[in-house]
Amino acid sequence: MGLSGKTQQKFEQFFAKMAHMFDGREFEIAYSEIRESTGSASDTMKRVLQTMVADGVLEIRPGRNSRYGRFRYLNYRFREPAPSTGELNTPESKTPTTASTPGQNQLSSESDLSKEVEELAHLTKQLLRSIRSQEMAIALLQDRVAELEDKMFKR
């Protein structure tokens, strides 16, 4: 069974965002976080990751343990220089199609800002989920310790 383009695209966007956060460097992340962020099952994630490695889009190495992997997104592109620095000397930059007005710059910076705010909101939600799961694990451990203490003192 093949993968849908939508699924592949979700993973591409996830790894592009992570590569952007780490400036194109290799990063370590838990497989569970990848599944949560992309909303995919474990088998689907494995198939997509294998496909991305086979296509030369992603490089994967073992992480600190079996639940983590070290990833390097190979399609990451660094931000290109602004038109005001790199393209002023070219004749094409003087055409009206590439010239931008201050209003357009303001709109693009506002859209960039809204994208960054969305990314921060998404990361905040991920952190909250992580905190909740850690709190649940702590509560389970506390219950187990209490049970063990009860058994010890009943002797």
Token pair of 106, please? Answer: 């303001």
Cβ atoms < 10 Å from Cβ of 137: 10
C-alpha pair distances (Å), 10 with each of 27, 39, 90: 18, 9, 37
Please write the tens of the pLDDT for every residue from 27-66: 999 999 999 988 889 899 999 999 989 988 899 999 898 8
Please write the tens of the pLDDT for every residue from 68-94: 999 998 876 654 434 444 444 444 444
